[in-house]
Structure 1
Amino acid sequence: MQSITLDLKDEQDTVNLGRQLSALITPPLIIYLSGDLGAGKTTFSRGLIQSLGHEGAVKSPTYALVEPYELNGIDVFHFDLYRLYDPEELEFMGIRDYFTTRSLCIVEWPDRGHGLLPQADIQINIKYVDTGRQVELKAISPKGEQILVSLDNNAKKQ
């Protein structure tokens, strides 16, 4: 499966990556975001969600667990599972109802929901490297593979 590693020098590069990815996606799609606190998971999500048409702030849904957006016929659900104590809590919130044919689900801290979340199409890991970030994008499904091939081809054209 396709894998891409990118070096991002600042916050704007992280936002731009989200924007670039937004141009290539169609529902249904599941993106897992992993990385240390403050690494840029929500910053990436902001670029993606705003590029899909959301005007205004994109905040981390740390306490609510999920922030919904309806954007141009796409149900976008931004999850932050950092404060999840037991994956069973996801059952109580009806987690399966969020993953539909109309939805883009962005899941921060997906390891906290292990066993109850559907498989991701794309796994993104963000880590600190000096003052910048290194982002590894991995395709997990054939749809994720198509998206990352397109992203890589677009990057080579620039």
Structure 2
Amino acid sequence: MKHLPKHLRPRWRYLGVAVESWPDARLSRGDFQRELWAAARGLLGDAGSAELDLSVYGFEFADGTGHAVVRTRRGEVERARAALACVDAMNGYPLGVRVRGVSGTVRACEEKYIRSPEVPSEERNVAFADADRRAVVRSPRVDARVGDGYLGGTELDI
């Protein structure tokens, strides 16, 4: 089968996306893809989400932070950003999603927006709400263990 000529091939844009949740969250690429499709379908309908043609190319998540590369059609970047903004939870964990930037190739997207120095995380005891609590510290964020979950704050809060 012959390839399409270059002027007939679809054009793509790649979004570098930062993902953040609680330190004990276990998230996968497939889960993120399903949530993204559901958010796009809920916001734009079936026809609108099909026009975006959203695909998660790369996804890494560990210790509460991660990143993804999301592909969309050229000209649909703003609607893709809107669909990403609608993703607020995954597997029962609250989720923060932020688009770091947009690029024309996967390689440029990874080099510009994904390969940034990671913030080291450490686990330590902090004084919070008149008690010593275990917390995961990713400067300047602090996620203190409260009951069965976490409570987010900053270093100034502890």
Which fold has the larger relative contact order, with Cα–Cα distance below 8 Å and residues 6 or more apart in sequence?
Answer: 1
Normalised TM-score (structure 1): 0.26
Normalised TM-score (structure 2): 0.26
Larger Rg: 2
